[in-house]
Structure 1
Amino acid sequence: MKEFTERVIQIIQRIPSGYIMTYGQIAKEAGNPQAARQVARILHSMSQKHKLPWHRVVNAKGEIVIKSEEAAWTQATFLEKEGISVKEGKVIIEHYRLNQKK
């Protein structure tokens, strides 16, 4: 497994309940600020294997970007169970974003 992939997995595993991170935020912390799409691919392909809290990752606007209506509903439901308010597929990012590194 590549070092970037390992770092992404570790970062996602550390997102606590009640918080979210963005794809870009994770990419930057993992060492490649230009790799937000790669984070999305890692999340998609490795969430189940590594038991990642995939539902805690949103885009830079706080939007749930999963194309499947059922999966988007599942993500919103998981976030709401953790106390994160979701309105029309979006969270107020400033209220819930985890600031691990500045």
Structure 2
Amino acid sequence: MAWNHRYTQPRPTQERLYVERVPVPDTTCPSCGSSDIARYPVANHFGPRMATKCQKCLHILAMDRPTDEDNWPPFRSVTYDWKASPGERAARDALLRELAAIDR
């Protein structure tokens, strides 16, 4: 897929937009034991992610960065895959250390 593909999508024709929740076969929820597991795109405070969640109790089994095949988010910055600058890395590392200290 070319870098400009995400910039040239037509206006949606549906009245309501939805995401497809793709079933994940041969997986069981460790929390409730349900086999109703699905993988779908979400947007959270870490940015766009692909969530693998139990549809019965909403337990999160995995939260992954989307790949090009996931086509999520529909609009992605050209700089999305660039490495963080030293200042961004330092701020992120400080935040992670602070969060780790709170969890103790």
Common topology (TM > 0.5): no
Q: Which structure shows the bigger proportion of residues in strand conformation?
A: 2
Q: Which structure shows the bigger proportion of residues in helix conformation?
A: 1
Which range, TM-score by smaller chain? under 0.3
- TM-score (structure 2 length as normaliser): 0.27
Structure number with bigger Rg: 2
